[in-house]
Each structure stands twice: as structure tokens, then as C-alpha cells.
Amino acid sequence: MYIRTNIDMRIMNKVVVIGGDHHNTLGVIRGLGERGIHPDVIIVSLSSMTFVDASRYIANSWIIKDESEIVDLLLNKYKNEIEKPVVICCSDVSSGIIDDNRDKLAPFLILPGAEVQGRISSLMSKKRMAELAMEVGLNIPQTTYVSDSDTDLSQIKLPCIIKPLESRNGKKEDIAICRTIDELKKYAASNNLCNEQIQDFIDKDFEYQLIGCSTKDKVIIPGVSKILRPCKGSNTSFLHYIPLEENFCAIDKCIDFVRRTGYKGLFSLEFLRDKNGKDYFMEINFRNDGNAICVTAAGMSLPYIWYLDCIDEDYSQEKNNKVKSVYVMPDMAELKLLVTRQISLKDYISDLRKTNRFMEYDKKDKKPFWKLIKHHLCSILSI
């Protein structure tokens, strides 16, 4: 496969991006495409009405209905490549499947993850994450780990927040906040309360993320994405990305945390800062983050850095790019908030004017956005 980069023209390693029909996957495609690399894409979607595959930057694409098909597809398509393709995951499930099948895939592909098969899957447990976070000196909320339905609910501090113990086995919609014992009992009665964690609810000032890339010898975290308007059931939000200042947070502990996982690849760390200025570690995502296009918008392509590191090329030029402050908007999510009157037209227009980059619309790659609009209109008209 011939592709143009700032490296000499030659046969190069392909890139395979795996993810849902979602702006997360699209952001990686664009982050690579803008640096001259056109990846192959595996889209996991139950619907045939996909939009990500309309991107001008894609070399080849396949749509599968279930993540269980990933391993066979990778082996069928890439087992005989001259140079090993580089894999990038954009979902917890795909990242876990790659990790669970590392020994089978590693002879043919360059994979994100740790050297030992199963290491990252085990760390996807929020309990394991929390234990490691405490080892390096990060704060976590007081937590109860529920393994069966016999937990004494009267001992839970309220208000609390309930989450699946493993992100790959749950969705953002599975997160629940209970402010009274009656709400907690009602939740327990209507859900199988097991394999979950119950945490103290933090009276937060704001949420932030450290989106980065762990290479062979560095943990790169160029900035902070500050969530300005959290969306219920999602961390996809209107956000402000700013260059990382040394005193913003315990960055050395965060880097130590990532190194101790043994993980190599794209990642994000999620934190809450309370009204007193105390930070609480929430979780690590062992894959590209849904908000990661903000780093590309700020001037540095982390997917491109990961690719260069995988093929033993110098990524210092990209890493040394000066990142700037940018505002990024998830266009479709914000339109939904406007239509459902969760934000005012005045606030929407004000934020629209600030925005430097959108998650779905891109003037250099318009087709995915218009295809998404078409699908939404078709869905509305069919009701």
C-alpha cells in the first residue's frame, strides 16, 4: 500500500481502525488522514445506515454486526501483509477483544495494549484501576464493590453513583445517581445489583480528561480537556482544550500510573475536581477517547504519533508541535440538547461562535456529516 507522509515514499504499514459508527472512530480517521495516512476501517454497527465510512480519508472499510467478528476478519484480511498493519481501537469492547486474543494476532499485527495477553482486560475492572491509582498516590472516591445482591444498602453513603465494574460490559446509560435510600432500593429492585461499583457522589466543580498516547519510551499528555457541558449518559460534551500546565494536576503521578499498567497506545484518564479543588481519579480508557479530536484540533495528532512509534519512525516533529487552546463541539449532541430545550438558543449560538472544531462536521471531509443528517431525517420520517 502506498501512502504519502512526511516519511519518504515507500511501502508502509497499513493502519486498521476499529470502532463503532461514531465520531470517536471518525476522529481517528481524520487525525491520520490529515497527516497523509488513509486507514482501513472496521465499523461495528447493527445498522447498515452508517456514516463514518463516507470519510474521504478511508482506504477500505468493512461493516460487521458484532465485535466477536473482529479477530477472524483481522486474520483473514491481514495475515499475509509484507509489513504488519498497525491497529487502533476506538471502543472498550474492541480493545478488550484485541487484548484477549493478543497471542493469536500479534504475529501478524502491531497491537495496542500490554505485552502479556489479558493484562489490559484485567485492568478494565474499575476495582483494579482504583487499586493502582491509590498505589501511585491518586485520590479516588470512597467506593463499595458489589459482587452479589446481598450488599447492605443501609451502609451506603448518600448521594451515590452506581457504575458497571467493567466499562466493556456496560454503557454510559447504565450509570445511575441515587440521592435517597428509596432511590437506591428502587434501583436495586429493578436491576441485578452485581458486578458494579457504588461510589460517593462528588460535588464537582468540573470534569476533565487527560488524553494521551503511551509510546515505547514516553507517556505523552499535551493538554487538558475541560468538560463545559456534561451530557447525561455520555462524556461527549462541549469542551475547552488547553495546553497542560505543570501545576494543573498531579501529572507525574498520572504518568506513573500509565507506565505501571504496561499499556502502549492511545488512552484517556478521567477526573473530577470538587468544589474545594481536590481531584479524584475516575477511570482510564485503554483506547482512543471520544473527545480526542480536540487534541488534533489543537495541533497534535496522537493517532499519527502512535503510528510512527509503532513503525519505529521519529515522531518528535509531531510531538513538538505547539498545542493551542480550542473549543470543540459534538454538533449532533448539542443540536439534540437545543431541540429538547436543555440549552437555550442564546447559549447554543454563543458556544457555536466559540467553537474551533466540530466532532461530526468537517469542511475538508463533509460527506460523513451530511450522510448522518440524511439518516436522522429518514428515521424521523419513518416514525
212 in Cβ contact with 220 (< 8 Å): yes
Name, in order, each residue with C-beta under 8 angstroms of 257's C-beta and a sequence gap of 6 or more: 132, 133, 136, 138, 269, 281, 284
For 122, the enclosing helix (H) or strand (E) is helix 119-123
Give the bridge partners for 110, in sequence order: 86
My answer on whether 297 and 241 are in the same domain is yes
- Residue 119 has a CB neighbour count (10 Å cut-off) of 16
In a domain, 129, yes or no: no
How many whole angstroms separate alpha carbon 293 and alpha carbon 63? Answer: 23
Q: Give the three-state DSSP class for 261.
A: helix
Helix count (H) and strand count (E) of the chain?
A: 14, 16
Residue 130's pLDDT is 93
126 in Cβ contact with 120 (< 8 Å): no
66 in Cβ contact with 50 (< 8 Å): no
My answer on whether 195 and 227 are in the same domain is no
My answer on whether 365 and 242 are in the same domain is yes
In a domain, 268, yes or no: yes
- Residue 98 has a CB neighbour count (10 Å cut-off) of 28
Residue 232's pLDDT is 62
My answer on whether 81 and 168 are in the same domain is no
DSSP state at residue 244: P
My answer on whether 216 and 335 are in the same domain is yes
Residue 150's pLDDT is 65
SS (H, E, C) 100-126: HCHHHHCCCCECCECCCCCHHHHHCEH
My answer on whether 192 and 208 are in the same domain is no
Residue 356's pLDDT is 97
The dihedrals phi and psi of 173, each to the nearest 5 degrees, come to -70, -15
Give the bridge partners for 227, in sequence order: 207, 239
CATH number of the domain encompassing residue 195: 3.30.1490
In a domain, 43, yes or no: yes
How many whole angstroms separate alpha carbon 208 and alpha carbon 242? Answer: 11
288 in Cβ contact with 263 (< 8 Å): no
Residue 173's pLDDT is 67
My answer on whether 211 and 189 are in the same domain is no
In a domain, 10, yes or no: no
Split the chain (383 residues) into runs of 10 and give each run's mean pLDDT: 39 91 97 97 94 97 96 97 97 96 98 96 92 96 76 82 77 79 84 79 93 97 92 75 92 97 98 95 96 97 98 96 96 89 93 96 96 84 63
97 in Cβ contact with 67 (< 8 Å): yes
Which of 121, 155, 188 is the C-terminal boundary of a domain? Answer: 121
CATH number of the domain encompassing residue 308: 3.30.470.20
How many whole angstroms separate alpha carbon 199 and alpha carbon 177? Answer: 10
The dihedrals phi and psi of 280, each to the nearest 5 degrees, come to -125, 125
Which one, of 318, 354, 359, lies nearest residue 336 by Cα? 359
My answer on whether 227 and 322 are in the same domain is yes
Residue 2's pLDDT is 30
If one counts the domains in the chain, the total is 3
- The length of the chain in residues reads 383
Cell representation of residue 281: 481519579
Residue 4's pLDDT is 36
In a domain, 130, yes or no: no
My answer on whether 230 and 366 are in the same domain is yes
Q: What is the CA radius of gyration of the chain?
A: 21
How many whole angstroms separate alpha carbon 40 and alpha carbon 165? Answer: 32
> Following DSSP, what letter does each residue of 138-201 receive, concatenated?
-----EEEESSTT--GGGS-SSEEEEESBGGG--GGG-EEE-SHHHHHHHHHHS---SEEEEEP
In a domain, 6, yes or no: no
pTM of the model: 0.90
Which of 200, 233, 268 is the C-terminal boundary of a domain? Answer: 200
DSSP state at residue 334: H
My answer on whether 232 and 345 are in the same domain is yes
303 in Cβ contact with 220 (< 8 Å): no
In a domain, 135, yes or no: no
- Which pairing describes strands 160-164 and 176-178: parallel, antiparallel, or unpaired? antiparallel
In a domain, 7, yes or no: no
Q: Give the three-state DSSP class for 344.
A: coil
How many whole angstroms separate alpha carbon 212 and alpha carbon 256? Answer: 13
CATH number of the domain encompassing residue 79: 3.40.50.20
Residue 149's pLDDT is 57
My answer on whether 274 and 251 are in the same domain is yes
- Residue 208 has a CB neighbour count (10 Å cut-off) of 22
Please give the residue range of the domain that contains residue 68.
Answer: 15-121
My answer on whether 25 and 79 are in the same domain is yes
Which of 158, 177, 200 is the C-terminal boundary of a domain? Answer: 200
